[in-house]
Chain A
Amino acid sequence: MPSSASYWRRVWRHFKRNTLAVLGLGIALLLGSIALLADVLANEMPYYLVYQGKTYFPLLQQGLHHLGIASFPVELRHVDYTQLAAERVMFPPIPYRPNRINLLVPFAEPSAAHWLGTDKLGRDVMAGIIHGVRISLSIGFVAVGIALSIGVTLGALAGYFGGWVDLFISRLFELMLAIPTFFLLITIAATLRPNIFYTMIIIGFTSWVGIARFTRNEFLKVRNLDYVIAAVAMGTPTQRIVVRHILPNALAPVLVSVVLGIAAAILTESGLSFLGIGVPADLVTWGSLLNEARSNSFAWWLAVFPGAAIFLAVVAYYLVGEGLRDALDPRLQ
């Protein structure tokens, strides 16, 4: 059974030998932590503040307030912290919210105040990129989660039952392969109200074919192996055979397409928001920042940095996926 601990330990040992794959995993984990900590890394609320003799921890207090544990100090509501005559203050490394508009500094070049410059509304690009990690990764993960559940279900049905079920589902594959997917995405995303949840769902619903075909082929291979036939002979219910006996064997190769699928979904999402569809106009994403560079070609920082973020995320997941593929390939071991 490949699901045993020793199997995954062996896979990990092979994965570890691949320097680039480990580098990719490192970047992916770093991006994941940035996504989790985005509010702490880039926020206009100070960590620590001494104001009129009282000590506050505004960011922490706001977090607790959102969790419903403590209330936020009344005197700090609707306060502009940059204008506050504070005795002592400590801001996060990027003291801006991503959607904080400051019309006094539109298109500011990268400087000490704005590390990566600002966009046409004076919004800080670095803050936008940091919070953009969260949007991109969550769209990547949720979209692939949806694609995975559709793909594994249809692939397992087609591969296990064969016959007319397979014929029908295979026609569905063919249909999805021939349909211009990106254009389909644009069409759906442009006609719906811009919303990142819709975008996740649409990307998920248009990207399951690869996973489904993979699962189907694995099931076709595994279903005639002796241990499955033995399970059938012993009268094991079909559902149990599929879920407990075949699926774990088929999942390892599917995992590769899942990791590569995350990269593809991130790419698709930024492509959509680059075209200005799929995400609301006030939401700052990597693609929407890059989009601004198109019509303001002097603002090179808007072209360079958000695109580099997309590239970095995509490369990281590609590297992990490729490394995983090699580590799972028994011929290379």
Chain B
Amino acid sequence: MFSYLLQRMLLLLPTLLGITCIAFLIIHLAPGDPAELRAGGGLGAAGSEGLSSDKRGGLDQALAAWRAQYGLDQSLPMQYWHWLRNLVTLDFGHSFKDNQPVWSKIAERLPITIQLNVLSIVLIYLIAIPLGVYSATRPYSVGDQITTFVAFLLFALPSFWIGTLAIVFLCGGDFFDVFPPGGITSVGYSARWSFWERLGDRLWHLCLPVLIMSYGGFAGLSRFMRSSMLENIRQDYVQTARAKGLSERWVIYKHVLRNSLIPIVTIMASILPGLIGGSVIIETIFSLPGIGLLAYEAVLARDYPIVMAVFTISSLLTLVSLLVSDLLLTLVDPRITFSGRRV
């Protein structure tokens, strides 16, 4: 077990290295110079055309100094090497925008994205598992068919559409004013509020984003749960359990459910990257100051250090969650051992 864990951890490194390498190349080979963008406010060459030649010279000097400050004047391999070397000491560099350490900017935003994702995953599992069990215990009944159909529709509904509809119809526009139109705190929020007031305010703001982030997930997962249950119900051991006179309830919850949960656990790892990508859209729609919004703004502003950090952290999270779900498998299914299994 321990050697397996070690082996997997070692395999993480080349994958992570590959991902950062790809991300680095894409960011740096793309057209658009962050120095010009910074100086011209996005105007680039068009903005500097009107400058007289001596002013242009001064600007070039300033840009060169700025590039040198961030090491952008070095060759690409050197830049990547420096980036990697700093990564070993967990240093992601400084943001181009305000020269703040990338770590502190991310640490500031991370709690909101984590709250959003953890709440979504919990909600996905809380709804999907009972729904899957309900469908599987009465397959092809009216109830099952309705659940199947609704799950299918939910799965196909684009979250950015539902998010926009929610903003238009529910968030204090011309229609209903049920939820806040975005942001993470109400106007007049103060740290002096009691803990419960602050918690309530936070939940009120997170309610819609979490719902919208998770409905696709629980629709998909409940289907998965259903087929996993149905597969197990057909097995011989279920027949045996029934034959020895166990109640149907006991058979379903004690025997079938436990075995059906095995694939559901592993799928967690594949939900996570989707949620991370989805938080870009959700955080943009609801103006939630999380990693997704930070990443989106950083991409638009060519803020390389932040973009690289987001790539690294979210791929690492995905890889680790893949590993964790494999380990969870051994907990829920004692038949699976990793000794002797090749990766």
Interface of chain B, main secondary structure: helix
Tell whether B123 is near chain A: CB-to-CB under 8 Å. no
Shortest A228–chain B CB gap in Å is 25
B171-A297 in contact (CB<8A): yes
Evaluate contact between A294 and B285: CB separation under 8 angstroms: yes
Q: Does B181 contact A (CB under 8 A)?
A: yes
- Asked if residues B315 and A179 are in contact (CB atoms below 8 Å), the reply is yes
Instruction: Judge whether A90 is part of the interface by a CB distance below 8 angstroms.
Output: no
Q: Which residues of B contact A303 (CB under 8 A)?
A: 161, 164-165, 167-169
- Contact, CB under 8 Å: A180 / B277: yes
Known: A300-B169, A315-B156. A184 touches B15 (CB 8 A): no
Do A191 and B31 touch across chains, with their CB atoms under 8 A apart? yes
Complex-state Cα separation, A6 to B284, whole angstroms: 51
Chain A CB within 10 A, most for which of B23, B31, B160: B160
A298 within 8 A of B: yes
Q: How far is the CA of A304 from the CA of B157 in the complex (A)?
A: 12
A231 to B94, CA, bound (A): 60
Tell me the smallest distance from the CB of A302 to a CB of chain B, in Å. Answer: 8
Given contacts A191-B27, A193-B31, A315-B153, contact A183 B314 (CB under 8 A): yes
19 A-B Cβ contacts within 8 A? A171-B14, A175-B18, A177-B318, A180-B273, A183-B280, A187-B23, A187-B27, A187-B311, A191-B302, A271-B158, A275-B284, A290-B161, A297-B167, A300-B168, A300-B169, A303-B161, A303-B168, A310-B158, A318-B152
Measured between beta carbons, the chain A residues less than 8 angstroms from B319 are 178
A318 touches B280 (CB 8 A): no
For window 155-188 of A, CB contacts with B under 8 Å fall at: 171, 174-175, 177-184, 186-188
Tell yes or no: B142 within 8 A of A by CB: no
Q: Which residues of A contact B273 (CB under 8 A)?
A: 177-178, 180-181
| CB <8 Å contact, A274 and B173 | no
B289 is an interface residue with CB less than 8 A from chain A? no
Query: How many A residues have CB within 8 A of the partner chain?
Result: 43
Distance A188 CA – B158 CA, assembled complex (angstroms): 22
Is A7 an interface residue when CB atoms closer than 8 A count as contact? no
A293 contacts across to B, CB distance below 8 A: 164, 167-168
**Cα–Cα, bound, A308→B153 (Å):** 12
A311 within 8 Å of B (CB atoms): yes
B32-A191 in contact (CB<8A) = yes
| B261 sits at the interface (CB 8 A) | no
Q: Does B26 contact A (CB under 8 A)?
A: yes
Q: Does A307 contact B (CB under 8 A)?
A: yes
- Highest count of chain A CB atoms <10 Å: which of B14, B32, B273: B273
B22 near A: Cβ within 8 Å? yes
User: Chain A contacts of B161 at CB under 8 A?
Assistant: 290, 303, 307-308, 310-311
Contact A191 B299 (CB under 8 A): yes
Q: Is A192 an interface residue when CB atoms closer than 8 A count as contact?
A: yes
Instruction: Report A-chain residues with C-beta under 8 Å of the C-beta of B27.
Output: 187, 191
Q: Would A178 and B19 be within 8 Å (CB), given that A183-B310, A271-B160 are in contact?
A: yes
B281 at the interface (CB under 8 A from A): yes
CB distance from A297 to the nearest CB of B (A): 4
In the complex the two chains form, is A192's CB within 8 Å of B30's CB?
yes
Query: Do B164 and A188 touch across chains, with their CB atoms under 8 A apart?
Result: no
Does B153 contact A180, Cβ atoms closer than 8 Å? no
Report if A311-B19 is in contact (Cβ < 8 Å); known contacts: A179-B311, A180-B314, A297-B171.
Answer: no
Q: Which of A192, A263, A293 has the most CB of B within 10 A?
A: A293
Contact status B311-A180, CB under 8 Å: yes
Known interface pairs A178-B322, A183-B311, A290-B160. Does A274 touch B281 (Cβ–Cβ under 8 Å)? yes
Which residues of chain A are within 8 angstroms of B299 by Cβ–Cβ distance? 186-187, 190-191
Query: Which residues on the A side are within 8 Å of B153 (C-beta)?
Result: 315
CA distance A277 to B169 in the complex (A): 25
Determine if B101 is an interface residue (Cβ-Cβ < 8 Å).
no
Residues of A within 8 A of B158 (CB): 267, 270-271, 307, 310-311, 314
